Amino acid sequence: MRAEGHSNILKQQEPQLIGIGTNPKFAIGQRGLLVCSEQGNVLWDCITYLDDETYQAVKDLGGISAIAISHPHYYSAMVEWAQRFDAKIYLHANDKKWVMRPDERIVYWTGETLQLPGDLTLIRLGGHYPSGTVLHWPRGAEGKGALLSGDIITVVVDRRYVSFMYSYPNLIPLPASEVQRMRDTIAPYKFDRLYAAWFEAIVQQDAHDAVVRSADRYIRAVQEVRYP
């Protein structure tokens, strides 16, 4: 990738949150998020490229103690990152069949939630994948809470809304019952900001209401749409 002109960029998204992405964009162009805390830094989602410059920059920020992935599309080079930083990888056990490179650093968790260092919570939200996971960060957004969603919840052009999908490239929607379950699962958590899978994909404020409002709109649309 270096020979093709790729390099990584680190961008502060807010205090204690660093976005890590590749430029020019590679594949679908997602970026990871490094949540920094005194209890250990957690890398949310993963990118493919890891060079010495990126390693040193992340090490200067305190390294990585844990890696958590929203769903198998972002497994990418997670083992290389984990080996380089001597970090554990946390994946939901229901997605084990999608792991193409087993490693002793992978921890398969079960159930609906898992606590990580730094007061972080992994939440099995489902949707895009049956074990699709989001990360709740209550210290984010100046203490109002942030949700890191990958594309389990995706940000749309109108930042007052988000959306949900089974298959993005094939435009296959989720059933209303699944989106209702996702809505009910995430509703008890407090968060004012939402970070999806790309640098620009952010709901800066009122994100909790945006998710609930969007789920309600989605359910109405798929249940009530009528054709002549």
Q: In the chain, how many domains are there?
A: 1
Please, are residues 125 and 133 in contact by the beta-carbon 8 Å criterion? yes
Q: For residue 24, name the pLDDT band (cuts at 50, 70, 90).
A: confident
List the domain range (segments joined by +) for residue 144. Answer: 2-224
Q: What angle do CA 155, 206, 29 make, to 5 degrees?
A: 25
Per-position DSSP letters for 82-146, written without gaps between them: HHHHT-EEEEEGGGGGG-SS--TTEEEE-SSEEEETTTEEEEE--SSSTT-EEEEETTTTTTT-E
Closest CA to 204 of 63, 40, 13: 13
Output the pLDDT for position 2: 66
CATH number of the domain bearing residue 76: 3.60.15.10
Q: 225 pLDDT exceeds 70?
A: no
The amino acid at residue 134 is V
Helix 176-186 vs helix 207-224: angle between axes, to the nearest 10 degrees?
160
Q: 165 pLDDT exceeds 90?
A: yes
Tokens 């203490």 identify what position? 143
Output the pLDDT for position 228: 61
Q: What percent of the chain has pLDDT over 70?
A: 96
Q: 77 pLDDT exceeds 80?
A: yes
Output the pLDDT for position 160: 94
DSSP H or E run through 184: helix 176-186
Reported as a single tens digit per residue, the pLDDT across 138-160 is 999 999 999 999 999 999 999 99
Q: 30 pLDDT exceeds 90?
A: no
Output the pLDDT for position 49: 93
Output the pLDDT for position 227: 65
Output the pLDDT for position 1: 67
Mean residue pLDDT of the chain comes to 94
